[in-house]
Amino acid sequence: MRRIVLLVALSLLLAPISPAVAVSNDGPRYDVRLGADASGVTWTGRERVTFTNTSAGTLSEVYLRLWGNAWDGCNSSPVRVSHFAGGTPGTASVACTALPVALTQPVAPGKQISIAFDLSITAPDRAEKFGRSGDYSFFGNALPVLAIHDQAGWHLEPDVGIGESYYAAAADFAVRLDHPAAVQVPATGTESGGVITAKQVRDFAWAAGPFEHSEVTSPGGVKVRTWWTSVVTAGAVATARTGAVAAVDDFGRRFGTYPYGELDLVLNDKWAAFSGMEYPGFVLLVAPPYGESAAVHEVAHQWWYGIVGNNEYADPWLDESFATYSADLFAGDAKPGCWPGSVVTSITNSMAYWKAHPTSYGTYVYTYGACMLHDLDRLIGGPAMATLLKTYALTHWYGIATPAAFKQAAQSATAIDLTSFWSGHSIG
């Protein structure tokens, strides 16, 4: 018990500390101004990206991730950039989602630099996180962001079409979205004076359309704004809102206080390929049949992916397993006996593996990953597990965690040698 108390005290003194991954272009700032057409489908304007070279070497280029082009590639790219200042764009690769930009002036270690460019974004005609459904448009992973450069070099992994493959540093956004008065625009961050500010978030998402909306404040002080399309019922709105309000306070107590002030839920009646999708302070949800369970899972992602980052392509289990386990905790479901005993592969596979084995992705990354965490809870005990999760979150607050970092944190939380536990749960 003394060791656990000391660990908590030490983590509170040190957090947030340097992440497990040393990012060379860490802590960027995005300044964006976009104007909408009459319907909110197309947005045009300009974006400026500012960052400091935190590596030991000079950077002569950066990469922009244009994730919105993943499905359409280079033939009809819905995200287009032009008229650069501070750098010269090269030829886009990885289905036109990775754009190299040669910097006009190479940036030395410790120095800051900016690039700017004109930007045009049009929501594709499909019911997706970046797409449109009737009169409503959704802009998830639509805004260009810097690719991460770390010890392994530039990360230009592809979107494989299932799950998420994103990898981004926590950043500050200042975004102005000019739009007609008839168009409602829920978004990441909080608005003041026409500028939406979001600090230490890994992405910026928004939606546009004639949404209905409501606003409540959780007992813990988090403003929860719910937005819904015309086909979503009042009952569905209430169910999702109730779950999200309770979950944001519950997870704040368990893992560390929710830092973004506001949480926006955006409900539609259907999506083509998902029941919910998380962005910092902004969640897309399908209306029934998922309701509260989807809301709770996506709110858990505010911690596991949003606050505690990870390379979602290399280590999808580090956010999906943790979000699923967190939702179980919220529901009071310890899932006894859910680990199957033996598995044919590992929950720690990358999205390259799951692309080739898509039918196993959900079972392993969501279900079995959560089962592993439940088994760890039973092995080391509930109090030690609770301390582990809070310490792990605080240690990697706004940083990037790795499987090795979690295993080290888990071993530090118990005197039990976990070597056989990891091998018995197919974790290398």
What is the DSSP-derived secondary structure letter of residue 39?
A: T
What is the mean pLDDT of the segment spanning 85-110?
A: 96
Which pLDDT does position 270 carry in this prediction?
80
Classified by CATH at the fold level, domain 2-18+311-424 comes out as Neutral Protease; domain 2 (1.10.390)
Quick check: 1 pLDDT over 80? no
Lowest mean pLDDT among 3-12, 16-25, 137-146, 319-328: 3-12
Per-residue pLDDT at 14 exceeds 90: no
Cis peptide before 288 (omega within 30 of 0): no
**In this predicted model, what pLDDT tens digit does every residue of 48-65 receive, in sequence order?**
999 999 988 999 999 999
Q: Which pLDDT score, from 0 to 100, does residue 290 have?
A: 66
Which tokens belong to 241? 């809102």
- CA dist 309 and 305 (Å) reads 4
What are the sequence ranges of the domains in the chain?
Answer: 2-18+311-424, 25-206, 211-310
Spell 405-416 as b/e; 16+ CB within 10 A means b.
bbbebbbebbee
Q: Please check whether residue 295 is in contact with residue 276, taking contact to mean a CB–CB distance below 8 angstroms.
A: yes
Query: Could you give the CA distance from residue 259 to residue 401 in angstroms, rounded to a whole number?
Result: 18
Q: Which residues pair with 114 in a beta bridge?
A: 50
Q: What is the pLDDT of residue 428?
A: 79
DSSP 366: I
> Over 50: is that where the pLDDT of 372 sits?
yes
Domain 2-18+311-424 matches domain 211-310 at the CATH topology level? yes
Q: What percent of the chain has pLDDT over 70?
A: 95
The percent of the chain in helix, strand and coil, each rounded to the nearest 5, is: 30, 30, 40
- In this predicted model, what pLDDT tens digit does every residue of 287-313 receive, in sequence order? 876 667 889 999 999 999 999 999 999
- Round to whole Å and give the CA distance between 227 and 213: 4
Could you tell me which CATH class the domain 25-206 is placed in?
mainly beta
Mean pLDDT for all residues in the chain: 92
Q: Does domain 211-310 have CATH number 1.10.10.60?
A: no
Q: What is the pTM of this model?
A: 0.93
Tell me the C-alpha to C-alpha distance, in Å, between residue 209 and each of 228, 273, 394: 10, 21, 37
Mean pLDDT over residues 368-379, rounded?
98
Token pair belonging to 301: 């992602």
Alpha-carbon distance 177 to 36, whole Å? 7
| Cα-Cα end-to-end distance for the chain | 28
